[in-house]
Amino acid sequence: MVVGNLSEGACEVIGENGLLARVASYYHDLGKTKRPHFFIENQMKMENPHDKISPQLSRTIITAHPYDGAEMLREYKMPKEIIDIAEQHHGTSLLKYFYHKANQESEQEIPESQFRYPGPKPQTKVSAIVAIADSVEAAVRSMQKPTLDKIESLVRKIIRDKLEDGQFDESDLTLKELDQVALSMCETLKGTFHQRIEYPEDLKGKGDKK
């Protein structure tokens, strides 16, 4: 739901199809249902299965989910726009954790290309925004003691990292639009996580009690 809220709002701000973004957000991770326990949001308190397999096998499992999802959506005759977003939402991004783990276990340096999603990169503005929303939701969900400043810094860092990694190169998103997307997502998160956010007044109050 949060990914849908984030992507819909951001798309509408820049004049893109918010409804498409919301619907695509509901289906973008469908491929994870093939091997659900290999994804952290489904592990709850269970043992992490990645601890017992090689980083290379972890990479194969994780990077398969956009394409597994796209294939499942094709079987259900879903619209091409929805399928494309499912397939593109990780672009050619790097699986940093497993890449570094593999290098720690290897005597020779492993090229980044072996731990990147095969792509394609997001081909439309809507697809790129869903990709941003997916990363933002996961990062904010795990954030300890969120504040408005921490949330904005995180959102902008995620967008900047994707931009510098070339993930928006084929989407036609402009820098101005990326700034509007960041502001929109911060506003949405402010409402979504209102009860968890520590505001300056709250922090001041805590300091007064010491």
pLDDT, tens digit, 9 for 90 and up, residues 158-175:
999 999 999 999 999 999
Give me the pLDDT at residue 106, please: 87
E strand intervals along the chain: none
Query: How many whole angstroms separate alpha carbon 42 and alpha carbon 49?
Result: 11
HEC string for 128-183: HHHHHHHHHHHHHHCCCCCCHHHHHHHHHHHHHHHHHCCCCCCCCCCHHHHHHHHH
Residue-range definition of the domain harbouring residue 12: 2-208
State the total domains in the chain: 1
Q: How many residues are there in the chain?
A: 210
pLDDT (tens digit per residue) in 34-65:
887 777 665 567 787 777 888 999 999 999 99
**If you ran DSSP here, which 8-state letter would residue 88 be given?**
H
Mean pLDDT of the chain: 90
Residue 3: its H or E element: helix 2-13
Element containing residue 97 per DSSP (H, E): helix 96-105
Contact residues for 173 (Cβ-Cβ < 8 A; gap 6+): 125, 128, 129, 181
Q: How confident is the model at residue 26 (pLDDT cuts 50, 70, 90)?
A: very high
User: What is the identity of the amino acid at 130?
Assistant: V
- Is a pLDDT exceeding 90 seen at residue 114? yes
Q: Is 195's pLDDT higher than 50?
A: yes
pLDDT at 209 over 70: no
pTM assigned to the model: 0.89
Q: What is the CATH number of the domain that holds 141?
A: 1.10.3210
